[in-house]
Amino acid sequence: MDYNLLYETTYKKYFSLAEKILKAKCIKYKNEGVSFNYTYNEIQKNSYAYSKQINEKLLQNSYAYTKHINEKLLQEKLAPYSKLFSERYQIFDEDCILNVIEKRIIPLLKKNKQTSKISLEEFVYTYAKLDAIKSASRIFSNFNRLYELIFKLNDFNKFELVEHKCSVENIPLFIKLREKIYPTPKESKSKISKSTNEDDAYLNVQDVSKLTNYAVPTIYDLKHKGQIPFYKNGAKLQFKKSEILDWIEKGKGVTKNDLEAKADEYILKNS
């Protein structure tokens, strides 16, 4: 028996089925007009219940005399093999499924004299099915913000369960869909002109940033150092367009000292 092939084909089959079921449930709840949070919680509850059913089926199919044995006892008897199978990637680097069965599970079955009581084929098949359901549920949970955008936009053509290696904020599809719902505010069409028209207009920090191509923090830094002409009206910071244009042309700032020197010069001339 090629246990690797059995596991892979079973896993792909049920993962694809789980994806279709999750998509169908999302569409159903969306058409009913319920919220995504309600949809998410219901899907997670159903996934848990279905996984539990598969576990129970595994117990029933593993023993011919299941009906006569306590369920807890069955769980205890299967636990060592389940643990080994779930830890296969930690134990082996290659052919994890085949190696864990041949080198760990079968020897343990022989030691416990349970070889005839457990069908390894059914064991692998059922665990592949269970892993597929769990993986689908985990991906839906880990990237639920992406599926929430798909849900809100009612654009289920983009619904696909993919294990991304980055955070949800960096997924291209998430960025694209978020932009549709929460578009970035467009810049005002009225740009600050560098011409001398309306030179006496008062500008705010953002206007000066656009006019000078300096970042807003840089404008504040120049202001604090007294290297750019500015006006303070209470808590409001303003700049005179004519003075900013002149400051740009001269390539240097009109400092506080410059203004005081000009004032002294004016007083001397007119005294």
Note the pLDDT tens digit of each residue in 189-199: 555 555 545 55
Q: Which residue has the higher pLDDT, 139 or 255?
A: 139
Q: Which residue has the tokens 């006019």?
A: 211
The end-to-end CA distance of the chain, in Å, is: 110
Angle, helix 120-142 to helix 3-32, in steps of 10 degrees: 40
Q: Give CA–CA dist 202/231, Å, rounded.
A: 9
Q: Give CA–CA dist 92/97, Å, rounded.
A: 9
Best-predicted range by mean pLDDT among 30-34, 112-116, 220-224, 225-229?
30-34
Percent over 90 (pLDDT), the chain? 39
Q: Is this structure's pTM higher than 0.75?
A: no
Rounded to the nearest integer, the mean pLDDT of the chain is 81
Query: Of 189, 168, 135, which is closest to residue 15 (Cα–Cα)?
Result: 135
- DSSP H helices in 87-169: 88-91, 96-100, 106-111, 120-142, 144-153
Which bin fits 239, alpha (ψ -120 to 50), beta or left (φ > 0)? beta
Percent over 70 (pLDDT), the chain? 76
